[in-house]
Structure formats: C-alpha cells, structure tokens
Amino acid sequence: MRPAPIFALLLSLTACSAHDTPAPASVQAAQAPSEATPPTPAQSPSLLAQQGRVTDAANILDETARMALAARLATFQDRTQHQMVIATVPTLNGEDIGVYTRDLANRWGVGRKGIDDGIVILVAPNDQQIRIAVGYGLEKALPETLCREIIQTHMLPAFASGDFAGGLDKGMTALIAAMDGGESPPNKPPSSRT
C-alpha cells in the first residue's frame, strides 16, 4: 500500500443524488507530500472491474480494512436488501466525478432493478474528490444535503489525517443510520423495534 496523500478538510464535494448534475468546482487543497506516488491514469468506468463490495483501485486500504468494510456492507445488504459499494480510483483524469460514478453504478448494476436502491461511495484520492451517489429509490432517506453533511462531518476529518478506512467506515455508518431512521426497504415488511 502506498502512502495516502494528505487531504485538506475540504475535498471537492459533489452532488449526492443520482441526478446528472454538474459537480461544483474543485476546492484547492494542500499538496500531497513529495514522497507520494505520482498519479496513475484513471480506469474508465467501463474498464474498472468490480472486486466485490469494495474495489480499491487506488490502493488506499489494506486487506484487513477492505475485508472489514466488505463484511459490514454484506451485513447491511442482507438486512435491508439495499446494495452499497465502495470504489476508489487514483484519479479521474479530468472526468466529472458525477458522470464517472453514475456510469460505474450502471455498469456494475448497483441496486435492485426497478427499485433503484443502490449507493456508490467513490473516492479519487489524487484528485481529492469524493462522491456518494444514491439511486432514485433511496433519495428520500438520503437526500443530497444529508450526503454532503456525511462527507463533511464524518468522512473528511478522517481523510485529512490519512485514515481512509476510518473515514469510509464512519461515512458508511452514518448512511446506514440515516436509512435505519427512514422508510422500510421495498418488498420487505417493516421491522419491529424493541
């Protein structure tokens, strides 16, 4: 695993919904340390092969972190039927992160057909960009403003200290908590809480 670049507290925040809206201009952030590996070309969404629930093409997670995140995602999917995946790419090579994430989600088939309840968390560390893309079926439970808040308050502080695994885990925890407070997943009876 190569050293993670240091993130400033503000990454480029992009829209959270699945709508094809343009991303805001990138926020200039601190330079990565000189010992960081130079950026590598982005893999287009059509070439990036899904490697389970966590695809770490940027190599920012160790095997233990990948396995722990994947296990939590599997438990979440088993419990709710909603599918959430994490993908990292070193750089987007100038491609819009919203378009990249949408194309990746469509190619991988994230979420159930006809219900559109998939979630993709995409991190491009060399570009200092992150996106939470939410299928139309979950937009009420995970509106754009909430996703931006999750990125800002849960993920970015950990990323700023180089803790990508911790930031992803905290973001995933906040997303799951928001959905647990929302509607029951389609095609599943409401759960009884004691």
Tens-place pLDDT, residues 29-76: 222 232 333 334 455 665 687 888 999 999 999 999 999 999 999 999
- Residue 37, amino acid: T
Q: What 8-state DSSP symbol labels residue 125?
A: G
pLDDT of residue 45: 61
| DSSP state string for 127-194 | GTEEEEEE-GGGTTTS-HHHHHHHIIIIIHHHHHTT-HHHHHHHHHHHHHHHHHTSPPPTTSPPPP--
pLDDT at 181: 79
Which of 40-44, 94-98, 176-180, 183-187 bottoms out in mean pLDDT, i.e. has the lowest? 183-187
CA 88 to CA 164: how far, in whole Å? 10
Which uninterrupted H or E stretch holds 104?
Answer: helix 97-108
Tell me the C-alpha distance between 20 and 131, whole Å.
13
Residue of higher predicted confidence among 194 and 157: 157
Banded model confidence at residue 147, pLDDT cuts 50, 70, 90: very high
Residue 11 has pLDDT above 80, yes or no: no
In this predicted structure, what is the pLDDT of residue 86?
A: 97
Q: Can you give the pLDDT at residue 49?
A: 79
Q: At 110, give phi and psi (nearest 5°).
A: -75, 125
Six-digit token string for 69? 């995140």
Average pLDDT over residues 153-178: 95
Mean pLDDT of 168-184: 84
Per-residue model confidence (pLDDT) at position 111: 93
- Give 83-132 pLDDT, tens digit per residue: 999 999 999 989 999 999 999 999 999 999 999 999 999 999 999 999 99
Distance CA 169, CA 159 (A): 11
pLDDT at 170: 96
Residue 194 confidence class, pLDDT cut points 50, 70, 90: very low
The pLDDT confidence band at residue 5, using thresholds 50, 70 and 90, is: very low
CATH (one of 3.40.50.300, 3.40.50.1000, 3.40.140.10, 3.10.310.50) for 12-18+45-180: 3.10.310.50
In this prediction, residue 44 carries a pLDDT of 62
Instruction: Give the pTM.
Output: 0.73
